Amino acid sequence: MDRFWAVLFLTEEGRPKSALMLYSFCLSLLFFGIYAFAYGFLLDVLEKLFATYSVAVRNAFQAIVPGVAGSIVCCSLFFLFKDRRLVPATYIWLTLYALAALIGMLLVTAGEESRIFLYFYAMLVPTGLISGDAAMFLLYRRYRRKQEETKNQC
């Protein structure tokens, strides 16, 4: 484990190669936990709330609501940090995790197991990533425009 940290984040002197990379990686683990909590908590609530609806409606709500709820919580942290690049960089890590999980599972599984994995993956992963990535892109773009306008006024 020490080797992983050293190769990816630390120089030979033990100093961080990139503080943004290190902080965004650590924050991505927190975001992963927030999304997991959102799905874990909201899936049962939504199942009970929409028990009388069709399976398609229940699945749609169970796929969308927790992902958007997790994105709202995670994207709100954009305003908390002084370095506005931190949360967008965190979403890059989350996207890399999602791609690694998809590729890894598709290489390991085959046939019916692969289809089951893809079903759950499609229900749980894209909504949070798409809503979070889109919100971060828009928030960061707005921040950069304001920064450029302020710079041009000076």
* Within-domain flag for 29: yes
Domain assignment of residue 58, given as a range: 19-153
Residue type, 77: L
Residue 117 CA to residue 35 CA, distance in Å, equals 18
**Assigned token pair, 139:** 């928030």
Q: 92: closest CA among 29, 24, 139?
A: 24
Q: What percent of the chain has pLDDT over 90?
A: 78
Half-sphere exposure of 20 (CA within 13 A, CB side): 10
- pLDDT at res. 137: 94
Q: Is pLDDT larger for residue 85 or for residue 152?
A: 85
What is the three-class DSSP state of 82?
coil
pTM of the complete model:
0.85
Q: Is pLDDT larger for residue 10 or for residue 103?
A: 103
* Within-domain flag for 10: no
* Within-domain flag for 3: no
pLDDT band of 76, cuts 50, 70, 90: very high
- pLDDT at res. 10: 65
* Within-domain flag for 85: yes
* Within-domain flag for 119: yes
How many domains are contained in the chain? 1
pLDDT above 70: residue 133 = yes
**Assigned token pair, 116:** 């089951």
**59 Cβ partners below 8 Å, 6+ apart?**
123
- Burial code (b: 16+ CB inside 10 Å, e: under 16) for 101-140 equals eeeeeeeeeeeeeeeebeeeeebbbebbbebbbebbeebb
